[in-house]
Structure 1
Amino acid sequence: MKVLASLLPGLRDLRTPLTVGYLWLICGWLWFRDALLRRATARGPIADLYALDGVLPSATFLAALTFIAYFLGSIVELDAAGARWIDPIRPNRASWEAVADRFRIRLDEGESLTTERYAAAIAAWNRTAPSRTAKRTTLRTNVSLEELREEQGFAALEAAHPRGWVLAVDGEPESWTLVTIRGRRTIRHVHWRRSLTGRAVDWRGPELPLTDLTVRGLPSLALAALYALRDELPDLATRLLIERPEVFDKYDRLLAEASIRINMFLPVTVLVSTLALRAHWLWWFGLVMCVALLYQGLVQRSRAFAVVLDSVATRLIESPTMVAVEAAQHGDTATGAPATLV
């Protein structure tokens, strides 16, 4: 059993490129089989290849074909874990909500949080957050609604259909607002809280898979830490391998199941379409199977990342950004340089 357990991860890495490569080879054979030279008409190097049939055993040709299929599949294989553009599709909202609840408690911005501590927490976030997150996200403080209107333009702010406006007696938002401004190439979100000296999180990119009610209750530091967590997930999976290998095995198994389904979707769709065009129109019904295959792959991918998120929520592993921000917020560590507010 130990030998089998050690072999399974390697076999999971082999099967996706091998399967995808064979599927593309089948598609290529259906497309170009009429153009291939036959044994009777072959000349030159092609004839020499046919002559090898009488010299080498069939297993040799099968091994060569398998190598070609694996090589082709490894080139066109999509990395299911690294394809971040898939993240907004079928995210595991329950796991994200659990992590958000933990971050909200640990990074609570109560009255005891001084401006100096908040500045230290911002500096810690800037140091430890992934560069991709830091380039798209900005933590701010002492921001008024008038400043936001001046930056974005009042017309643009009003046309953005902000969510979560809670009007107070003076007609201004009492607690929070989430403004989404869609440009030609980017989507910008501004989460602003009037309380606690007008702290805001400004980011570009897709929203987190959280409800408006959850976002409303999140401190700005917790929201920024969650955005960092989304870019930390691949690295946290590696940490899970080191610290909790039995949990990582579940993640790896689910991700492998997702990878083979997502990668099979395109070649199977092309194969079914080719058969429908060249053989019989009933093959078009096979596209239903292709859609089901893709759906299952997305579900398995979501479950795989849920394993990592649940591990963070239960503190089996820790987000480096979360730990650094929490320590700076509570004064457990000192920053190497004076912190500045953005």
Structure 2
Amino acid sequence: MLASILPGVRQVRAPFAAGSLWFAVLWLLLEPSWSRMAESGFVAGVNGLLGAFSVLGQGIVIGFVVYFLGSFSTFLFSTALGRLIQSTRTAWRPLSGLSRNADIALKRIASNGRRDIERASGGAGLAVDRVLEGAAADAPRALPAKTRPLSRRRAPVMDGPSATGTLPDLEEKQERQIADGVLRDLPFIANTQLLGQREAVYSAVDRIEAEVEFRIALIPPVIGLSIAIAVVVRATPLLAVGAVLVGILAAIGLMLDAVRRRTQSNELILLLIQYRSISAPSITDLEARARELKDRTTGAVLARQLERYARAVGNYFGKLALVPQSGGFALLAEAHEAARVAHLETGRMQQALEAAHVSAAELDSAAVPALLDRVLAQWSAINHGVTVSAPAVAIPDVVGMSGEQLSAMMSDARQRFEDFEGDVSKIVERFRAEEKATAERKQTGEATPAEALPRRDDAAPAGAP
């Protein structure tokens, strides 16, 4: 029970402590004026309202005000101050959030990750470069960098029997890119991989992060309190200057202590990744991309595109099925968006079939979306008599169909969809069998007979239009 209560207490502690300090700041600055205006006006009304409450009620009201001030302060300042610890563009070591042990672990993680990607891609450095370039091209351009490049933190730390103090330029560049991706993963790993799986480690990381948030939350009100004290004792300049200096030193101390604790958290997570107790999502994604790039055989490409096509067309079916149940422009807009995606994947599906030497006359991936477009056009006309067109999709202008006709058309489209899936799956299996046989013949040194190639004349679907 205590374990379940403590996380909630830690979440309340930071805003309540910050709010208490801000309340003290307001009291120091406003108390003289408050006392002078206590007999009339707004201040008198507030005093009268508080007087109507018991001591407990007054404490609850003041506690609410304190918590509100602290929450607002945390919202305004904590995110910006927290980013100073994660800064990626400064080489100033005290705010890097990485210890030397964490640097060593990060270097080893990047090196191991590069080798894992090499194995997954079945190639060497250039294959890894293609994987990393593809990942960089798919990354959102508008997002600000969250981590400092590894090269700007310090010189690479080398270890092991092959350590020479330097890396080949290509490998060094790849490991820097992998390391930057791992650092971007750090804020999310606790919730995505530790929570529910490694409760003891998650609790330790959560406690450390709570201490970081607590210290960061105190920095603005501590500075504000020192300034308020300086205003109160401004008649004595020496005391005023001393109060401000003490506040600044306290804020610096809080920030450095927050950095120290964040460093402990990062070091713990990086060591877990290094010893493969947990995995870095960015490296896992790169390995998956490498395996996909490696498997570029015709059968594999066709199978992947069939999966995407089936998902998009299936979503189109689902959106259309919802329209008659509720109608309205919202569902129609979703159906038109599903149509756009389905047509996009249909074009890619046809390209994959053509690459496999299967023509549209044999297998037409556009036949099913064309039927669904007619159903969508009818529902668009029924709803307020307006036809909404999806971007880059020409919806046929078909009206006057009954509900039974629409249902029959949907059933026909579903049957054609199932037939198309089955026919393409058969072609995929033929290619995979031939590719497997070709690989076995290469191992034994046998020639590839021309008659063993898969035939296309028997691939026409039974339900083709």
Q: Which TM-score tier does this pair reach, normalised by the shorter chain? A: 0.5 to 0.7
Kept after mapping to 2: 8 A contact 1:103/1:222: yes
Kept after mapping to 2: 8 A contact 1:18/1:73: yes
Is 1:221 equivalent to 2:174 in the alignment? yes
Match of 1:113 in 2: 124
Distance in structure 1 (CA, Å) of the matches to 2:180 and 2:274: 15
Greater length-normalized contact order (CA 8 Å, ≥ 6 residues apart): 1
Kept after mapping to 2: 8 A contact 1:125/1:325: no
* Aligned partner of 2:226 among 268, 272, 276: 272
Structure 1 residue 48: deviation in Å? 3.7
Is 1:207 equivalent to 2:149 in the alignment? yes
Counterparts in 2 of 1:38 and 1:60: CA distance versus 1, 3 Å: farther
- Determine which structure has the larger strand proportion and give its number: 1
Kept after mapping to 2: 8 A contact 1:257/1:300: yes
- Aligned-partner SS, 1:318: coil
- Aligned-partner SS, 1:36: helix
Kept after mapping to 2: 8 A contact 1:125/1:321: no
Match of 2:14 in 1: 16
Structure 1 residue 225: deviation in Å? 1.9
Structure 1 residue 105: deviation in Å? 2.8
Distance in structure 1 (CA, Å) of the matches to 2:80 and 2:270: 14
Structure 1 residue 101: deviation in Å? 1.0
* Aligned partner of 1:294 among 255, 258, 267: 255
Amino acid of the structure 2 residue aligned with 1:228: G
* Aligned partner of 1:62 among 59, 64, 80: 59
Q: Percent identity, aligned pairs only?
A: 23
Counterparts in 2 of 1:290 and 1:219: CA distance versus 1, 3 Å: closer
- Aligned-partner SS, 2:196: helix
- Aligned-partner SS, 1:267: helix
Match of 1:34 in 2: 32
Task: Point out the more displaced range, 74-83 or 253-262.
Answer: 74-83
Distance in structure 1 (CA, Å) of the matches to 2:23 and 2:197: 41
Amino acid of the structure 1 residue aligned with 2:22: W
- Aligned-partner SS, 1:107: helix
Distance in structure 1 (CA, Å) of the matches to 2:129 and 2:254: 47
Structure 1 residue 81: deviation in Å? 10
The 5-angstrom pairing of residues 119-198 of structure 1 reads 119-120=130-131, 122-124=133-135, 126=137, 131=140
Distance in structure 2 (CA, Å) of the matches to 1:116 and 1:246: 39
Structure 1 residue 328: deviation in Å? 4.3
Distance in structure 2 (CA, Å) of the matches to 1:28 and 1:136: 36
Structure 1 residue 205: deviation in Å? 7.3
Kept after mapping to 1: 8 A contact 2:114/2:174: yes
Structure 1 residue 299: deviation in Å? 1.1
Counterparts in 2 of 1:273 and 1:37: CA distance versus 1, 3 Å: closer
Distance in structure 2 (CA, Å) of the matches to 1:136 and 1:266: 25
Kept after mapping to 2: 8 A contact 1:236/1:319: yes
Counterparts in 2 of 1:116 and 1:266: CA distance versus 1, 3 Å: closer
Kept after mapping to 2: 8 A contact 1:39/1:50: no
Structure 1 residue 100: deviation in Å? 1.9
Is 1:305 equivalent to 2:236 in the alignment? no
Counterparts in 2 of 1:24 and 1:87: CA distance versus 1, 3 Å: same
* Aligned partner of 1:251 among 205, 223, 228: 205
- Determine which structure has the larger helix proportion and give its number: 2
Match of 2:98 in 1: 92
Kept after mapping to 2: 8 A contact 1:225/1:322: yes
User: What's the CA shift string for 1:101-132, capped at 9, x where partnerless?
Assistant: 132133136995174564245435655x6x36
Kept after mapping to 2: 8 A contact 1:136/1:205: no
Distance in structure 2 (CA, Å) of the matches to 1:210 and 1:241: 30
Amino acid of the structure 2 residue aligned with 1:57: S
How many positions carry a matched residue from both structures?
266
Structure 1 residue 333: deviation in Å? 6.5
- Structure 1 alignment gaps of length 5 or more: 138-203
Kept after mapping to 2: 8 A contact 1:125/1:324: no
Q: CA RMSD in A?
A: 3.5
Larger Rg: 2
Is 1:102 equivalent to 2:62 in the alignment? no
Distance in structure 2 (CA, Å) of the matches to 1:42 and 1:102: 68
Kept after mapping to 2: 8 A contact 1:122/1:325: no
Task: Point out the more displaced range, 26-35 or 111-120.
Answer: 111-120
Match of 1:233 in 2: 186
Distance in structure 2 (CA, Å) of the matches to 1:262 and 1:226: 27
Distance in structure 1 (CA, Å) of the matches to 2:262 and 2:108: 23
Structure 1 residue 20: deviation in Å? 0.4
Structure 1 residue 326: deviation in Å? 3.1
Kept after mapping to 2: 8 A contact 1:117/1:330: no
Counterparts in 2 of 1:250 and 1:210: CA distance versus 1, 3 Å: same
User: What's the CA shift string for 1:186-244, capped at 9, x where partnerless?
Assistant: xxxxxxxxxxxxxxxxxx97433643234953543332121122222222121221321
Match of 1:5 in 2: 3
Is 1:51 equivalent to 2:48 in the alignment? yes
Distance in structure 2 (CA, Å) of the matches to 1:255 and 1:16: 11
Distance in structure 1 (CA, Å) of the matches to 2:231 and 2:144: 46
Kept after mapping to 1: 8 A contact 2:114/2:175: yes
Amino acid of the structure 2 residue aligned with 1:9: P
Distance in structure 1 (CA, Å) of the matches to 2:230 and 2:197: 50
